[in-house]
Amino acid sequence: MINKKSHGKSFHTTHCTDLDPLLSLCHHHKFKLLKEGVDSYNHKSTSSHPPIHPYLSLPPSLTSHLNTYPLKTVYSDKHKLEHSSFVACCQSLMMYSIFSPRCSTGPEKWYHANKDCEGRAQSPINIVHRKTLPDERLTPFQFRKYQDSFSGLIKNNGHSLQVNVPHQPYVIGGDLETPYKVVQFHLHWGKNGGPGSEHTIDGEQYPMELHIVHMNQEYSTLEDALKDPRGVAVLGFFYEESLSANRKYDPVVRALQRIMTTGANTTLISVSLEQLIPPQQNLTNYYRYKGSLTTPGCTESVIWTVFEKPIPLSRDQLRVFSDLQFKDGKPMVGTFRPVQPLNGRVVYRSGGAGVLASTVILMASVTMAMGLSQPN
């Protein structure tokens, strides 16, 4: 019943926003579909398709089927009601297991949702500084049009807050072979300002992490860029708790009050990316490795840059992110994926020969200044 209906098309969950319609559908039909679907499946289960239990993980054969089943068919074709309710049930199961904080199968089980999530180059990772290798090609970034103000949609998408950025700002340098333009940014956080970053440095987890998602300028959609192993570049910034409030974050913090519930959105007016990140001169130290999206489908097309210098926010500012709500009304907290195995990957760090070069320049200018100051 299962395999012959697969059309061989790919069901790519390339970005979590793609899952929103599915999430609402699952939310509405969850219990009905769960029972109907699981009963129906278990009734016909065979040794190759062993019975499943609601809220438990799905067998791999079923997962791979779901990954190739065209999603639209599932919901549009009434003749496949039994099958579609079954698939919907499984989807809702997966989504439930992925996004519900009450469920025992958290992000560590995401490979059930998409086989890419069990790949060998997953993100985030713990960065062990003494094991990183200096790389002189990791020059400082140039942040172009980061200072331009824009108005963008800020949305509670059910698992984070995301801001879509018009595609004008871009970065060059940092050993990226072409300019990479900004697509969106979003955040990962903990509970009430507690540990919440995705990447960790020497095991230390920061309270929050900003991801500015860029794509290679030759692409016009993130979906296309994700098909290229070097299509996407994410700049990651940590946050640290500061004594005073960071006034540059006032527009974001104010907007949060209007997007408490899942699906809510508002316009973030007149912000620049520059105001959200540390000053450029503090961004020369960073780590680089090849990894993945940290949400399903966990696509391994991301050139990761994780900056050393954190963004300061006060305790109150950090706390307010925990006021957002998941779809089920529970506080949106702990929105980070646990660190993933390195599997032999090397993490590089900037400031290899660059430090030496700038020291030489500094010495040269000191010598020159001294030379100039000497009377002839």
Active site residues: 159
In the window 270-309, what residues touch Zn ion (CB under 5 A)?
none
HSE-up (13 A, CA, CB side) for residue 333: 15
Stretch that binds Zn ion, among 44-52, 167-175, 203-211, 325-333 (CB under 5 A): 203-211
Number of chain positions touching Zn ion (CB under 5 A) = 1
Which of 109, 199 has the CB closer to Zn ion? Answer: 199
Query: What is the nearest approach in angstroms of Zn ion to the Cβ of residue 181?
Result: 17
> DSSP letters along 311-339, please?
EEEEHHHHHGGGGSB-TTSSB-----PPP
Stretch that binds Zn ion, among 1-9, 51-59, 206-214, 319-327 (CB under 5 A): 206-214
303 close to 293: Cβ distance less than 8 angstroms: no
Query: What is the nearest approach in angstroms of Zn ion to the Cβ of residue 158?
Result: 14
Place of tokens 């507690």: 194
Cα distance between residue 233 and residue 163, in whole Å: 17
Stretch that binds Zn ion, among 31-39, 123-131, 204-212, 307-315 (CB under 5 A): 204-212
156 close to 13: Cβ distance less than 8 angstroms: no
Which of 155, 211 has the CB closer to Zn ion? Answer: 211
Measured in whole angstroms, how far is the alpha carbon of residue 84 from the centre of its chain?
A: 30
In the window 7-36, what residues touch Zn ion (CB under 5 A)?
none
Query: What is the nearest approach in angstroms of Zn ion to the Cβ of residue 251?
Result: 20
Stretch that binds Zn ion, among 50-58, 72-80, 107-115, 207-215 (CB under 5 A): 207-215
Measured in whole angstroms, how far is the alpha carbon of residue 356 from the centre of its chain?
A: 34
Which of 232, 313 has the CB closer to Zn ion? Answer: 232
DSSP element (H, E) containing 210: strand 208-216
Stretch that binds Zn ion, among 18-26, 142-150, 205-213, 312-320 (CB under 5 A): 205-213
Position of minimal CB gap to Zn ion = 211
Which of 124, 354 has the CB closer to Zn ion? Answer: 124
Q: What six digits make up the tokens of 140?
A: 């400082």
How do beta strands 200-201 and 126-127 pair?
Answer: parallel
Q: What six digits make up the tokens of 195?
A: 């540990």
Let me know if 266 is exposed, middle or buried by CB neighbors in 10 A (0-12, 13-18, 19+): middle
Which of 74, 298 has the CB closer to Zn ion? Answer: 298
Cα distance between residue 98 and residue 219, in whole Å: 29
Which of 30, 211 has the CB closer to Zn ion? Answer: 211
Query: What is the nearest approach in angstroms of Zn ion to the Cβ of residue 234?
Result: 7
Which residues on neighbouring strands pair with residue 155, listed in sequence order?
162, 265
With CB under 5 A as the contact rule, the residue among 211, 214, 288, 349 that binds Zn ion is 211
Query: What is the nearest approach in angstroms of Zn ion to the Cβ of residue 337?
Result: 8
Q: What six digits make up the tokens of 260?
A: 């408490």
Question: H-type helices in 220-269, by residue range?
Answer: 222-225, 250-256
Query: What is the nearest approach in angstroms of Zn ion to the Cβ of residue 232?
Result: 11
By CB under 5 A, name the binding residues for Zn ion.
Answer: 211
